[in-house]
Amino acid sequence: MDWIIEQLKKEKWSPYAAGVFLGIVNVLALVLISKPLGASAAFAKFTSYVVKIFYPSALHQMYFKFVMPPGINFTVVVVVGIFIGGFISAKMSGDFRWRMVTDQQWIQIFGPSVWKRWGIAFIGGLLIEWSARLAGGCTSGLAISGTMQLAPSGLIFIGGLFAGGIITTFLVYGKKY
Amino acid sequence: MEVTLWEFIWSLLLGIGFGISLQKAGLTKYGTIVNVFRFKDLAVIKYMLAALITAMPLIFLLKDLGLITLTNINPTYIAGNLLGGLIFGVGMSLSGY
């Protein structure tokens, strides 16, 4: 127990160690709840639930009827857990801070404007969630949970992710790349 | 609620484990995510591949022992997976999440 607390108080683990830990968590998910872990579906699932309350006529649409019927399923709980886990981890290592603009690197490239950060984060988040539903999963649900079960879709997604990310970063950063 | 009590408890604990590993690998930071696309900091790739090579053999060992069944394998449709991946990369690079 002391050892666990000591590890949690560290600011950072080696990415290899954290990755091995995530791998074990993913295997445990298959053993304990017979489902691969994912994150992005939770947001669509929860949206579907909100739609059911405020705009029930939209439930007849194909998407909410067959792909994402409303409800709170395990993946919503997992996302709540991710939030709590991240909070605990940041708190214990003393890394937790309230900030409007995330990072020194962001300020160097885009300036200190809060609106710019929040606007771009919103657009980026929109693209992430929409494309995750298009591809059938996100970095956790498809790239990790899919690839570890040797699904070709996971590897195709990883290829696309890095191609899209490298090109965009190259264009956005320009001379600072 | 579509989850049983045990499913709820395990999902929450697994999610907490997931969150801790993300935070400790530094993947909650804008810089870590974007710098992998600039080849300055490969933490994201190290993290993902370490998770994959840990999980893959364990999963297929457990599957061959008959302890788990792989039912939820993500379907492959090349255009969707690839286009989704490309746009996902754009969003990831912009927001740093």
DSSP A66: I
pLDDT in tens, B60-88: 999 999 888 887 788 888 899 999 999 99
Residue-level pLDDT at B75: 85
**Dihedral pair phi/psi, residue B29, rounded to 5°:** -105, 140
pLDDT in tens, A7-23: 888 888 999 999 999 99
| Residue in chain B lying closest to A142 (CA) | B74
Give the ipTM of the model, two decimals please: 0.92
- Measured CA to CA in angstroms, residue A78 lies from A21, A132, A154, B16 at distances of 16, 17, 20, 8
Interface mutation target, options B5, B12, B13, B14, chain A, most CBs of A under 10 Å: B14
As a whole number of angstroms, the distance between CA A128 and CA B86 comes to: 10
Contact A172, B93 (CB under 8 A): yes
Interface mutation target, options A97, A128, A129, chain B, most CBs of B under 10 Å: A128
- CA B45 to chain CA centroid, Å, is 11
As a whole number of angstroms, the distance between CA A31 and CA B60 comes to: 12
Contact A150, A136 (CB under 8 A): no
Contact B80 A126 (CB under 8 A): no
**Cβ contacts (< 8 Å) between A10 and chain B: which residues?**
24
As a whole number of angstroms, the distance between CA A29 and CA A48 comes to: 24
Q: pTM of this prediction?
A: 0.90
Contact A85, B18 (CB under 8 A): yes
> How close A70 comes to chain B (CA, Å)?
10
Contact A20 B22 (CB under 8 A): no
As a whole number of angstroms, the distance between CA B56 and CA B7 comes to: 23
Q: Is B65 on the interface with A (CB under 8 A)?
A: no
pLDDT in tens, A51-101: 888 887 777 777 777 677 777 788 899 999 999 999 999 999 888 888 888
Nearest to B78 by CA among A152, A108, A75: A152
**Cβ contacts (< 8 Å) between B96 and chain A: which residues?**
102-103, 106, 121, 124
Q: Name the burial class of residue A158, with classes exposed (0-12), middle (13-18) and buried (19+) by CB atoms within 10 angstroms of its CB.
A: buried
> Where are chain B's structural domains?
5-94
- Measured CA to CA in angstroms, residue A152 lies from A79, A143, A149, B77 at distances of 25, 10, 9, 9
Contact B84 A157 (CB under 8 A): yes
How many pairs of residues across A and B have Cβ atoms under 8 Å apart? 346
Name A100's Cβ contacts closer than 8 Å, sequence gap at least 6. Answer: A114, A117, A118
- CA A125 to chain CA centroid, Å, is 10
Residue-level pLDDT at B87: 95
- Angle at Cα A129 formed by Cα A123 and Cα A133, nearest 5°? 145
Asked whether the predicted pLDDT for residue A5 surpasses 60, the reply is: yes
Output the CA torsion sign for A99, A100, A106, A107. negative
